[in-house]
A and B are shown apart, each in its own frame.
Chain A
Amino acid sequence: MVFINRFNFETGPKPWYLLIMDYRIVQIQGHKELTERLKELGLSQGQFLKIHHLMPFKGPQVIQTSQGLLSLRQDEFACLQLEPVK
């Protein structure tokens, strides 16, 4: 299983297609409050998501889930263990 995180993540704008999910959440790990907030915002194990935008200079990224868009910093994003589904 290949996990992606901020260290091997390809940066830069990506083409974006509606509701074609790129990644599946394998696990959510990290600071308790942070993981709780991630879950409250609709991220849960097994859910699909897509990277929508990446801000330059290691800035936040915008991800799309089935419920809409979320903006999160790289260390927040790193709490999500993802596997590519394509």
Chain B
Amino acid sequence: MKFILVGPPNSGKSTLYNWLTGSQTKVVNYPGSTVDYMSGSLAAHWNGPGIEVIDSPGTYSLHPKSEDEEVTLKLLKEKKADAVILVLDPTQLSRHLVLALQVQRMGYPMMIVLTMKDLLNKQNIKLQLSALETQFQAPLFLVDGHLGGGLDALIGGLKKFVHQDFSFNKNPEPDLDHDIQESLKLSALVVPQAGSSMEKVWGPTLKIDQVFLHPFLGYISFFAIMFLLFTSVYWLAAPVMDLVESLFLSVSEILIAQLPESLWSQFLSDGIITSFAAVFVFVPQIFILFFLLSALEGSGYLARAATIIDRPFSLIGLSGRSFVPFLSGYACAVPALMATRNISSPREKWVARMIIPLLSCSARLPVYGLLLGFIFWNEAAWKPGLVLASLYLISMFVATMAAGLLNRFVKLEAPSFLLMELPIYRMPRLKTLFLQAWNKTKSFITRAGPVIFVLSVFLWLGMNFPRYNEEIHDQQTQLEVSYLGIAGKKLEPVFEPMGLDWRGGVGLIAAFAAREVFVSTLAVLYKSDEEAGDTGLIEKLQNAKNSEGKLIYTPAVMWGLIFFFMIALQCLSTVGVMVKESQSWKLATLQLVVYNAAAYALAVIIVQILRATGVS
């Protein structure tokens, strides 16, 4: 027996789904769309074998206005389930009953679940449920989404529910005005003293909103919360990411030590294990970001944040809903691209996905560190610090300009809405947050992981093949004779206008694995002393000369490289996630080509102008 949970956003549908299924769940992508929904069997402790539950995306009615809502309608029209569990918030009943009436007209056998039981009990609000039962002729359950009260009765209802044939009306006559009037009448019967009940339920929320939606304090608290959120993502994830990296490194070292020295053992340790590391190193960041975002969403604050930031974002054609992915982009483009799923307008989603790789992610930091260290060699520390801060601002400016430009070219579909309800503030349930974050992380591992893995393996093969001489153990010589080295040499005329020789070119190509690889590749190619770190490498770069005996790396070249890295899309993980999120290799390839071409052109222009003006 298969049930589909249908309900408006913020009705407590996903919390109920998590109670019902626990971790027995999988993320399903609706074919031909970028929308995911959850599907799973009843958790083992409920002892209900054969019962499956689908969690459909939230919708206000069966007149879809976004891709998510379209998917819910399609799931219902395709009869993906035997019965519908309507999840409604009793404090929003006149609104939520519109959807209930529309689903009823499709003919589905139904069960109705009213969430927020705890809130009703706390405020001593009595509902006249007989009116609902009479209207829908369906079993009705009151559930406390927070503590799980009322779930036993619901599970009992699910087990007793008998499969029944029903006359299915795939396309019920739409009559929104009639449904609204009906739902108003019905809700007045169910919640007879709506006014005083509302006052009780909304009181604390309205008080909190005096701060969070205040025209001045609202912005202060918004920036404070976002600062805390993203610094937490960065600082909490960093040690775990280091741990993941060192774990894979240890496995790699153990393999090298245990296996006889051969190309296969090297492939296994450096190729396969390192490629796995390239996937799993993002897991802590993605998990923590989505855990905290789910907490903000579950508490009710995220809708307020979208309200606060909507105006500045609307100036570049985005809405407040795009803010979270935009800001996440400063930590890492991978989770940021995944967070664009929450944007309902396809146009906004597209624009956000296009500009996210332009934001200065944390992987650019080591590269900026090296390049600025070179430019401001032996100068006061505040100078590179100030330039670094400016680079972040410039990247925000570039992304904003790009968004403005893209908006001019992208054809407008239906108007983009902010219009949304602001839910009651609630304390989110910890287990639900874990499950939601885990499902998002799992989706990253299973969907983007394989792409990142395959691309990383290819890059390793490029750096380690062909092997003309099995005796080559020197990394620098191997890189020189590898396909990547050969490509670097062949492409030297391309890199020359940027002021780079073939080694710099190889560094840029290798940086596609991850931007920071640029630094380690240069260290290998210039035989830098690892213990001396960046300082040793900078000294090597300062003395590096080309075949004509001229210095290669000058401040002009370094400035060119800085702006190259600011624009270039040099992250195969980002490309992999972009392919999966947009479901388009074409778009991801276009993005890759355009950004790298623009970065190259900008770098060449900067280097040539600086040289022409006497900056070496």
Contacts from A to B (Cβ < 8 Å): 12-13, 16, 18-19, 31, 33-34, 36-42, 44, 52-60, 62, 64, 66-73, 76
Contacts and interface: CB of A to CB of B under 8 A. Distances in A.
Nearest to B196: A19
A67 B190 CA distance: 14
Contacts of A37: 60, 65, 417, 419
B209 A62 contact: yes
Given A33-B415, A37-B65, 6 more contacts: A19-B198, A40-B180, A53-B209, A55-B308, A55-B311, A71-B421
B94 A67 contact: yes
Given A70-B422, A73-B419, A40 B311 contact: no
B161 interface: no
Contacts of B421: 41, 68-71
B415 A53 contact: no
A66 B184 CA distance: 11
Contacts of A40: 60-61, 63, 95, 98, 176, 180
A55 B310 contact: yes
Interface string B77-95: 0000000000000011111
Contacts of B94: 42, 66-67
Interface string B372-399: 0000000000000000000000000000
Please classify how large the interface on chain B is, using the bins under 10, 10 to 19, 20 to 34, 35 or more. Answer: 35 or more
A57 B309 CA distance: 11
Contact of B420 (A33, A56, A58, A70): A70
Contacts of B181: 44
A62 B61 CA distance: 22
A12 B214 CA distance: 10
A19 B193 CA distance: 13
B125 interface: no
Most buried by B among A34, A60, A76: A60
Interface string B296-339: 00000001101110110010000010000000000000000000
B95 A53 contact: no
B206 interface: yes
Contact of A76 (B205, B308, B418, B422): B418
Nearest to A79: B419
